[in-house]
């Protein structure tokens, strides 16, 4: 009897929590189909009177949400791929070889991981300005790569340590150069670790706010977080909430769908990403 | 014998490969040097010089900027608010995360669905989640107030983010909604490592599920909990995005934290030296508090 009681309580609590979250997403979806007049005039629970598709068209043209998505896509994919390559190289060396200065290198990555963003953002602004990389995706991408390299290196070092050396030795006997055997033999073996790391990187970079806010100034270059923030500001004084909600829905949906498909990978990615300070 | 032979043979092959050490480490080290190490040192340097807008001297002014921010009541308030933010979020986050992870472990049917619904906010950008909650808490057409009105609790409806007494609370709720997944995932991972026999023994002795959880599981979870606590400490003291997006420090500075005030100083007021001094103070507080936290929370690692 008591068992049954506690099971019902568990179900009720989880159910309420899940339903609240579900409703908050459904609410965004419903708002994005309403006209501004309806948003103010009717209850948030009422269904939209007519499907106001114009919000979506406006979000793409006036709100530029398509540009933000494309910018985020470019910045995230380039940063992630380069960060994975750079960290694979350092992870391979740290996991594979003993050499003088090893502790120093590990220490440097450790320190870099502990430096909070606020500690570097002012001089970075200055550095990017002098390099003419302020307000450019290249500058932002470089910062994002540097931001991911330390954590990636630690995860990949641990993975490289577990790899058997025999395959590399076989490749060497076949006459492959060390560089080629790294690229063609070792790197493919680390695919599972690269996927795990990649998810952590994508989550961090796609969602990063502070650097993007400080380093990007031209509206057309905004990434999704800064773009949505900007739409929110605009909606506040123009009362054009429909565009904002349509924009939010457009930016949220693909991420939620990806999460639904790769739930397991994302879940472990969220946990691993937490270890970055 | 055989092993030594392989190792010697391997090291001959390694000799060629060891040439990769420097070129392979160089890109990563260069990146963190240029974008992390050097800027961090520069921030310390800037905090001891005068740099305001376009006016910039490279002269050493000693602790002038530090004295300046220490005499700034708004900065001191932001430090206080940061502690309030940390404490308030912890008080809410801990029990909710513990309860939800316990419930998720117990549920059999529909666990994937519940996990998806509870974790989904975590994949949203902080800025997007912040904007979303700003409107959920909107006094005129927000979800919370309208729901309160609909169920007859009209007197509870209020401008959540518009008054100093509730603004921080509103932000903390949004932060937890977004961040709780990390906690639950790490807690569940910690619980999975605890052998089932201990829990079962307690259950057989007649303890209730919840009591067993509090008495048996929690103490064994201590290493995980203390790690989470230190992680949260470090994150909370750098809080920025949610607050910047939802209230921008207002109303009347009631949600101004170190992060938002530093941003305002450096990038809205272009007072780069004061901003840098704040960044240094922030980093020092984070370091001291996390080292202290780690030391205080350290209990002997429990073997199980």
Q: Is A130 on the interface with B (CB under 8 A)?
A: no
How many residues does the structure list for chain A? 277
Would you state the pLDDT for residue B260? Answer: 96
Task: Return the residue in A38, A91, A116, A182 with the most chain B beta carbons within 10 A, the one to mutate for interface testing.
Answer: A116
> Among the listed ranges A26-40, A144-158, B31-45, B163-177, which one has the minimum average pLDDT value?
A26-40
With an 8 Å Cβ cutoff, are B182 and A203 in contact? Answer: no
In a domain, residue A208? The reply is yes
Would you state the pLDDT for residue B265? Answer: 92
Q: Is A50 on the interface with B (CB under 8 A)?
A: no
In percent, the amount of chain B with pLDDT more than 70 equals 93
Q: Residue B302 pLDDT more than 50?
A: no
**Confidence at B177, pLDDT banded by 50, 70, 90:** very high
Would you state the pLDDT for residue B178? Answer: 92
In a domain, residue A51? The reply is no
Domain around A237: 57-273
**B71-88 average pLDDT score:** 95
Q: How many CA atoms lie within 13 A of A17 on its CB side?
A: 27
In a domain, residue A119? The reply is yes
Number of domains in chain A: 1
The 10s digit of each residue's pLDDT in B254-283 is 999 999 999 999 999 989 999 999 999 999
Interface contacts A/B by beta carbons within 8 Å: 269
> Among the listed ranges A120-124, A271-275, B251-255, B268-272, which one has the minimum average pLDDT value?
A271-275
Would you state the pLDDT for residue B10? Answer: 52
**Closest-CA distance of chain A to residue B222, Å:** 17
Q: Residue B211 pLDDT more than 80?
A: no
Rounded-to-integer distance, Cα B120 and Cα A263, Å? 9
Q: Is A119 on the interface with B (CB under 8 A)?
A: yes
**A224-235 average pLDDT score:** 92
Q: Residue A104 pLDDT more than 90?
A: yes
**Confidence at B5, pLDDT banded by 50, 70, 90:** very low
Q: B221 or B133, which is more confident?
A: B133
Q: Which of residues 236-255 of B touch A (CB under 8 A)?
A: 238, 240-241, 244-245
Q: Quick one: tokens of B223?
A: 């290493």
Q: What is the 3-state secondary structure (H, E, C) of B12-38?
A: HHHHHHHHHHHHHHHHHHHHHHHHHHH
**Confidence at B62, pLDDT banded by 50, 70, 90:** confident
The CATH number of whichever domain residue A75 belongs to comes to 1.10.3720.10
Three-state DSSP class for residue B90? helix
Contact B131, A244 (CB under 8 A): yes
Q: Residue A28 pLDDT more than 50?
A: yes
Interface confidence, given as ipTM, is 0.89
What's the DSSP call for residue A172? Answer: H
Rounded-to-integer distance, Cα A187 and Cα A5, Å? 52
Query: For the packed helices B164-192 and B222-236, what is the interaxial angle rounded to 10 degrees?
Result: 150
Pick from B241, B254, B250, B226: nearest CA to B94 = B226
Count other Cβ atoms within 10 Å, centred on residue B157. Answer: 15
Rounded-to-integer distance, Cα B13 and Cα A169, Å? 7
In a domain, residue A75? The reply is yes
Q: Which of residues 97-116 of B touch A (CB under 8 A)?
A: 99-100, 103-104, 106-107, 112-116
Would you state the pLDDT for residue A137? Answer: 95
Rounded-to-integer distance, Cα B230 and Cα B243, Å? 21
Pick from B263, B256, B281: nearest CA to B47 = B281
Q: Which helix (H) or strand (E) holds B56?
A: strand B55-60
With an 8 Å Cβ cutoff, are A270 and B116 in contact? Answer: no
Pick from A246, A18, A223, A255: nearest CA to B122 = A255
Would you state the pLDDT for residue A120? Answer: 95
What's the DSSP call for residue B5? Answer: H
**Closest-CA distance of chain B to residue A219, Å:** 16
Would you state the pLDDT for residue B4? Answer: 46
The 10s digit of each residue's pLDDT in A29-74 is 988 898 887 877 777 777 887 788 888 888 888 889 999 999 999 9
**Confidence at B12, pLDDT banded by 50, 70, 90:** low
Q: Is B138 on the interface with A (CB under 8 A)?
A: no
In percent, the amount of chain A with pLDDT more than 90 equals 51
The 10s digit of each residue's pLDDT in A163-218 is 888 888 888 888 888 888 899 889 999 999 999 899 889 989 998 999 999 999 99
Q: Quick one: tokens of A95?
A: 């996991």
- Which of A44, A92, A268 is opposite residue B143, by nearest beta carbon? A44
- Which of A6, A18, A44 is opposite residue B118, by nearest beta carbon? A18
Q: Is A166 on the interface with B (CB under 8 A)?
A: no
Would you state the pLDDT for residue B13? Answer: 62
Q: Quick one: tokens of B175?
A: 């932060």
Q: Residue A136 pLDDT more than 50?
A: yes
Chain A residues near residue B65 by CB distance under 8 angstroms? none
With an 8 Å Cβ cutoff, are A145 and B31 in contact? Answer: yes
Q: Where are the beta strands (DSSP E) in A63-112?
A: none
Would you state the pLDDT for residue B198? Answer: 72
Q: Which helix (H) or strand (E) holds B58?
A: strand B55-60
Q: In terms of DSSP H, where are the helices of A131-223? A: 137-162, 166-173, 178-181, 187-189, 191-207, 210-215
Pick from B90, B98, B100, B122: nearest CA to B229 = B90
Q: Residue A118 pLDDT more than 70?
A: yes
Contact B281, B69 (CB under 8 A): yes
Chain B residues near residue A139 by CB distance under 8 angstroms? none
Would you state the pLDDT for residue B207? Answer: 72
Contact A233, A219 (CB under 8 A): no
In a domain, residue A250? The reply is yes
Please give the full DSSP string across B94-150, using - where no structure is assigned.
HHHHHHHHHHHHH--TTHHHHHHHHHGGGGS-HHHHHHHHHHHT-TTT-HHHHHHHH
Rounded-to-integer distance, Cα A176 and Cα B8, Å? 20
Pick from A118, A206, A208, A114: nearest CA to A154 = A114
Would you state the pLDDT for residue A178? Answer: 86
Q: Distance of CA B303 to CAs A109, B220, B299, Å?
A: 31, 9, 12
**Confidence at A277, pLDDT banded by 50, 70, 90:** very low
Averaged confidence pLDDT in chain A:
88
Q: Distance of CA B39 to CAs A126, A144, A160, Å?
A: 9, 15, 31
How many residues does the structure list for chain B? 304
Backbone phi, then psi, for B57, in 5-degree steps? -115, 155
- Beta carbons within 8 Å of B163's beta carbon, 6+ residues apart: B251
What superfamily would CATH give domain B73-297?
MetI-like (1.10.3720.10)
């Amino acid at each position: 009897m008591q068992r049954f009681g506690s099971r019902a309580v568990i179900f009720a609590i989880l159910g309420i929590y899940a339903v609240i979250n579900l409703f908050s997403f459904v609410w965004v979806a419903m708002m994005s189909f309403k006209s501004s007049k309806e948003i103010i005039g009717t209850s948030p629970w009422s269904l939209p009177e007519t499907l106001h598709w114009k919000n979506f068209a406006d979000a793409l043209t006036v709100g530029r949400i398509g540009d933000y998505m494309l910018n985020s896509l470019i910045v995230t994919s380039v940063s992630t791929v380069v960060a994975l390559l750079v960290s694979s190289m350092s992870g391979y060396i740290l996991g594979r070889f003993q050499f003088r200065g090893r502790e120093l290198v590990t220490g440097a990555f450790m320190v870099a991981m502990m430096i909070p963003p606020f500690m570097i953002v002012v001089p970075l602004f200055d550095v990017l300005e002098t390099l003419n990389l302020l307000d450019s995706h290249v500058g932002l991408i470089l910062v994002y790569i540097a931001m991911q390299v330390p954590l990636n290196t630690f995860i990949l070092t641990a993975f490289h340590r577990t790899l058997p050396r025999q395959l590399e030795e076989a490749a060497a006997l076949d006459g492959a150069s060390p560089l080629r055997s790294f690229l063609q033999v070792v790197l493919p073996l680390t695919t599972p670790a690269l996927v795990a790391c990649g998810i952590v990187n994508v989550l961090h970079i796609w969602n990063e706010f502070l650097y993007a806010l400080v380093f990007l100034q031209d509206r057309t270059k905004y990434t999704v977080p800064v773009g949505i923030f900007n739409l929110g500001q605009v909606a506040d004084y123009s009362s054009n909430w429909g565009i904002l909600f349509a924009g939010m829905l457009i930016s949220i949906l693909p991420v939620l769908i990806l999460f639904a498909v790769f739930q397991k990978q994302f879940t472990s990615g969220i946990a691993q990403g937490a270890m970055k300070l | 014998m055989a092993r030594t032979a392989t190792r010697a043979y391997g090291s001959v092959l390694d000799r060629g490969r060891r040439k990769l050490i420097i070129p392979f480490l160089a890109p990563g080290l260069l990146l963190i040097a240029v974008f992390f190490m050097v800027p961090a040192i520069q921030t310390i340097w800037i905090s001891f010089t005068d740099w305001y807008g376009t006016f910039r001297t490279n002269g050493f002014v000693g602790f002038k900027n530090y004295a300046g921010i220490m005499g700034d009541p708004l900065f001191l308030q932001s430090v206080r608010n940061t502690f309030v933010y940390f404490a308030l979020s912890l008080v809410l986050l801990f029990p909710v995360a513990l309860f939800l992870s316990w419930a998720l472990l117990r549920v059999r049917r529909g666990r994937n669905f519940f996990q998806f619904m509870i974790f989904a906010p975590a994949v949203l950008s902080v800025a997007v989640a912040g904007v979303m909650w700003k409107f959920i808490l909107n006094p005129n057409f927000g979800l919370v107030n309208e729901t309160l009105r609909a169920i007859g609790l009209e007197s509870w409806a209020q401008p959540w983010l518009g008054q100093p007494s509730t603004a921080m609370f509103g932000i903390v709720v949004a932060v937890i909604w977004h961040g709780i997944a990390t906690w639950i995932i790490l807690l569940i991972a910690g619980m999975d490592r605890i052998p089932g026999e201990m829990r079962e023994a307690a259950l057989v002795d007649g303890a209730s599920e919840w009591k067993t959880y509090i008495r048996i599981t929690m103490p064994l979870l201590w290493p995980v909990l203390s790690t989470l606590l230190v992680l949260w400490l470090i994150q909370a003291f750098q809080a920025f995005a949610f607050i910047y997006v939802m209230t921008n420090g207002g109303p009347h500075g009631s949600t101004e934290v170190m992060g938002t005030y530093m941003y305002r100083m450096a990038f809205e007021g272009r007072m780069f030296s004061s901003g840098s001094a704040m960044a240094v103070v922030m980093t020092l507080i984070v370091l001291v508090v996390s080292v202290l936290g780690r030391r205080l929370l350290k209990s002997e690692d429990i073997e199980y």
